[in-house]
Structure 1
């Protein structure tokens, strides 16, 4: 007995006409003179985003080789587009008193520039956005205030003032220059400790 029969060769399967009719047909390729189905999309171009041509595989490759989104656009406009693309084409402005909008829209620039800036309409009790606001005096911590007092300085002293005062006191109370004065040696240690505290705090 054989598993192969000559009658198998005569069997024919009837094609499913309904399935063929229901299958969607691709539109014809939009390339001039081409009758192939347009199975591939290609963008139409600038200012027509969301619109596409339908090409066959061969012609979509040909189209993409010569496609230029910025065709006919001046270099200055291309550079502006690239700059705005860094922020998703959203307007930005500097965080200071002159809030000039970094945008290409003149209307937006007028609305957001100068005294009409958005942040100028906010409450600003701490003068964060006011570039002409006077610098606030740093309030010294108790340990820092005591160290400044040891050096004979006030909280308004700058880093240069602290260094100059430190050098002066070190020369005056150094063991090689105090003549064996015990009180001067104690004062020398206090000066060293005070300067170390101020340096650790970043004041000098």
Structure 2
């Protein structure tokens, strides 16, 4: 069963005592700081009743003592983000490996925690899909754009029904050749 939340945010459950404002005899159930916190800790606080904590909060002004320029800067989208941040720690592990040395990200992660570098992946100017497309066309990785166009033209003439006497049994092969050429003609290796 879900628990009911308090109607008042900040109410101290089980607080005993009366309001810290002189002359008030209502129960002190809400924390209020004695002075603004200096970010070295939570600071000192006192317990107030609901009415007096509302008065206390109404008097609070974050921008008190700031110039108009400082207020504008604090209200901007980058207010508070200009501070330097700490570098991420390695958590006791070796520094992160170069992701480009691995074909599988899981190998890179495991290599980081094994304290050794995995063997770098074989460098190729073609992606895995592009190498598969080269295989469909019967070309090697040393091919250039001219050889790609020539091989594509040969295979289209060979498998197209209009060019091979109406034989439609090779249409699926023709589709694979067209798809492979479409992928390869936009490859970065030919740019």
How does the TM-score come out when normalised to structure 2? 0.42
Larger-gyration structure (1/2): 1
* More relative contact order, 1 or 2 (CA 8 Å, 6+ apart): 2
How does the TM-score come out when normalised to structure 1? 0.40
